[in-house]
């Protein structure tokens, strides 16, 4: 039996362009980078409150990467989809889908496109009442 998820790998054509996106736009932290024994350039990143990492991989010997639409996505929690949308605008970006808010006000979701066509889902959870709230 497996014990826990450690990382998810995405292979890329342009490593530095994607590293910049994940760090500057999503706010992920670069944990380490190295070259694998077979020659892959690897960069590991993580969200501030997560243990699992994302491994971005550049290995041209495997051929060019072609990401088909709706193949896979990474999902991240945000405090506010509205505020994150404003953050995206400051980077010259916008949501590719949404935000879609639940009718009962219990949160919502939206998508953005990362470099090379990978999708990123942003999820806003229901707002928790503060002290003395209902």
Domain ranges of the chain: 7-60, 67-129
pLDDT at 38 over 60: yes
Burial class (CB in 10 A: 0-12, 13-18, 19+), 52: exposed
Average pLDDT on 104-121 reads 92
Q: Which CATH class is domain 7-60?
A: alpha beta
> Is the model's pLDDT at 130 over the cut of 80?
no
Give me the mean pLDDT over the 19-32 stretch.
97
Res 55 pLDDT > 80: yes
* pLDDT of 133 strictly over 60: no
Mean pLDDT of 75-103: 95
Residue 36 contacts by C-beta under 8 Å, 6 or more apart in sequence?
A: 42
What phi, psi does 58 have (nearest 5°)?
-120, 115
99: preceding bond cis by omega (within 30 degrees): yes
Task: Kindly indicate the confidence band of residue 11, based on its pLDDT and cuts at 50, 70 and 90.
Answer: very high
The CATH classification number of 67-129 equals 3.10.180.10
What φ, ψ does residue 11 adopt, rounded to 5°? Answer: -90, 145
- Same fold yes or no, 7-60 and 67-129: yes
Higher pLDDT, 75 or 70: 75
Paired residues of 30 in beta bridges: 45
Nearest to residue 67, comparing CAs of 113, 110, 19?
113
Q: What is the mean pLDDT of residues 20-39?
A: 96
Residue-averaged pLDDT of the chain? 92
* DSSP tally for the chain: helices H, then strands E: 2, 8
Q: How confident is the model at residue 129 (pLDDT cuts 50, 70, 90)?
A: low
Q: How many CA atoms lie within 13 A of 76 on its CB side?
A: 24
CA dihedral defined by 38, 115, 31, 83, rounded to 10 degrees?
-170
């Amino acid at each position: 039996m497996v014990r826990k998820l450690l990382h998810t790998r995405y292979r890329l054509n342009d490593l530095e362009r994607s590293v910049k996106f994940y760090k500057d736009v999503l706010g992920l932290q670069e944990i380490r980078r190295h070259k694998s024994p077979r020659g892959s350039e690897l960069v590991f990143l993580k969200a501030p409150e997560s243990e699992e990492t994302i491994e971005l991989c550049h290995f041209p010997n495997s051929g060019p990467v072609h990401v088909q639409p709706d193949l896979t996505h990474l999902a991240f929690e945000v405090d506010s989809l509205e505020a994150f949308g404003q953050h995206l605008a400051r980077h010259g970006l916008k949501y590719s889908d949404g935000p879609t808010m639940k009718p009962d006000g219990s949160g919502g979701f939206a998508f953005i496109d990362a470099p090379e066509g990978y999708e990123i889902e942003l999820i806003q959870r229901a707002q928790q009442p503060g002290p003395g709230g209902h």
